[in-house]
């Protein structure tokens, strides 16, 4: 009997290192738990996904029509939808197409630790509600995602697990990476992460947060005697552009730089371990900091960041109520509390990782049920 065939669809191939970390973690877990598994990823950049993750099959999903994508789905034993924050007003219906095709062909679908929201448009809520009817299992990565789906009218069991990237492992860094990045000999490094407003964070005012972060960066240079390293999690022009926009507003720009190299998610996780402190907006930057036990301050532009802080039992300054003085005071307190922040992370991260492991168990059970000798034959 051939090995199980599992498909993964989500926000992959866009070169966002947070999404790639999620995918890498799901693939590693599937390979560990399911002998001989054949993995198909539905990707926006099939060539990059195949090269980066060495999967058996990679499908350029956004270039294919519904009819063209159907044969790739109907051969599967399970379609994994997610993870990541892919159920939001602007793009939910695009992502859900593969879920609908799978249902039409009798292929079980599992939502894999997804995020949800903002989800307020009635038509999108209806589309989500309809698509999630009769899927095999729904798991979400935070309580706010569960509440968002319930508010959209999804009335069935929604299991709260945790982000798959919490199980990512560090990878070896290229030789001389610190010399190449101009960080050699810097005695104290603070990592920073910014993001573009975009559809997932429509309420961000770039001018406001650029000035806020520039002020915070200058404060940390002076108060902590640190050099500031901006980490682009999405290696598009935008993350880099926004990082440079913050540096341009700094009084001490010579003490800041933007990482230039292209790194895998696991390499970035290794790099994160060299920071003494971190300040960030992007969720997976903060997840990487937590995994490396680096004390951090989050700027919660979205519910998913607030949800992560809640899970870690850490305080969060609401971005829309923060002014430079209040943020610097919060940074000051957090720097002084580094030791207790580390011990808090050491306690709460393993609990979250245990929650994250529950997700793959559900997926494996669904595949085994499907592959059992007495399972019903696949729909033609």
**pLDDT score of 380 more than 60:** no
pLDDT digits (tens, 9 = 90+) for 184-211: 989 999 999 988 766 555 566 777 888 8
15: left (phi over 0), alpha (psi -120 to 50) or beta: left
Average pLDDT taken over every residue of the chain: 92
Higher-confidence residue: 1 or 71? 71
Q: Which residues contact 361 (CB under 8 A, 6 or more apart)?
A: none
Residue 221's pLDDT is what? 98
Alpha carbon dihedral 86, 89, 93, 99, in 10-degree steps, equals 40
Residue 316's pLDDT is what? 75
**pLDDT score of 23 more than 80:** yes
Helices (H) and strands (E) in the chain, counts: 14, 12
**pLDDT score of 319 more than 80:** no
Residue 251's pLDDT is what? 98
- What's the mean pLDDT in 367-378? 71
Give the 3-state secondary structure of residue 135. coil
Note the Cα 360 to chain centre separation in Å. Answer: 16
Q: Considering Cα of 81, then 87, then 93, then 94, what sign does the dihedral take? A: negative
Residue 234's pLDDT is what? 87
**pLDDT score of 2 more than 90:** no
Note the Cα 12 to chain centre separation in Å. Answer: 11
Residue 212's pLDDT is what? 87
CA dist., res. 295 & res. 17, Å (int): 21
Q: Which domains does the chain have, with CATH numbers?
A: 5-168+353-371 (3.40.50.2000), 177-294+296-336 (3.40.50.2000)
Q: pTM, whole model, 2 decimals?
A: 0.94
Residue 201's pLDDT is what? 56
Q: What angle do CA 99, 103, 106 make, to 5 degrees?
A: 135
The percent of residues in the chain predicted with pLDDT above 70, rounded, is: 93
pLDDT digits (tens, 9 = 90+) for 277-316: 999 989 999 999 999 999 999 986 677 888 899 999 998 7
Encoded tokens for 28: 């590693």
Contact 155, 195 (CB under 8 A): no
Alpha carbon dihedral 6, 170, 302, 42, in 10-degree steps, equals -20
């Amino acid at each position: 009997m051939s090995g199980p065939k599992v498909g993964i669809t989500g926000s992959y191939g866009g070169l966002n290192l947070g999404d790639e970390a999620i995918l890498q973690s799901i693939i590693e877990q599937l390979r560990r738990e399911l002998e001989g598994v054949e993995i198909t990823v539905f990707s926006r950049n099939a060539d990059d996904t195949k090269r980066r993750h060495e999967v058996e099959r990679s499908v350029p999903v956004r270039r294919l029509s519904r009819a063209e994508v159907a044969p790739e789905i109907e051969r599967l034993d399970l379609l994994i939808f997610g993870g990541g924050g892919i159920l939001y007003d602007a793009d939910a219906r695009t992502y859900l197409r593969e879920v609908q095709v799978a249902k039409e062909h009798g292929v079980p679908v599992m939502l894999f630790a997804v995020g949800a929201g903002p989800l307020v448009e009635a038509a999108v809520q209806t589309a989500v509600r309809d698509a999630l009817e009769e899927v095999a299992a729904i798991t979400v990565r935070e309580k706010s995602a569960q509440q968002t789906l319930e508010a959209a009218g999804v009335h069935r069991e929604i299991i709260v697990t945790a982000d798959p990237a919490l199980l990512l492992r560090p990878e070896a860094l290229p030789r001389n990476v610190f010399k190449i990045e101009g960080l050699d000999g810097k005695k104290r490094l603070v990592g920073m992460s910014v993001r573009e407003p975009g559809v997932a964070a429509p309420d961000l005012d770039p001018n406001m947060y650029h000035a806020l972060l520039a002020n915070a960066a200058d404060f940390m240079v002076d108060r902590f005697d640190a050099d500031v390293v901006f980490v682009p999690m999405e290696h598009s022009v935008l993350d880099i552009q926004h990082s440079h926009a913050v540096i341009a507003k700094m009084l001490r720009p010579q003490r800041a730089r933007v990482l230039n190299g292209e790194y895998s998610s696991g390499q970035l996780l290794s790099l994160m371990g060299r920071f003494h402190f971190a300040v960030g907006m992007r969720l997976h930057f903060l997840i990487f900091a937590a995994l490396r036990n680096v004390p951090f301050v989050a700027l919660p532009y979205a519910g998913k960041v607030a949800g992560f802080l809640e899970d870690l039992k850490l305080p969060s300054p609401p971005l829309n109520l923060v002014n430079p003085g209040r943020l610097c005071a919060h940074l000051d307190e957090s720097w002084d509390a580094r030791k207790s922040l580390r011990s808090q992370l050491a306690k709460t991260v393993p609990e979250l990782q245990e929650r994250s492991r529950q997700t793959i168990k559900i997926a494996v059970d669904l595949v085994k049920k499907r592959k059992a000798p007495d399972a019903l034959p696949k729909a033609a």
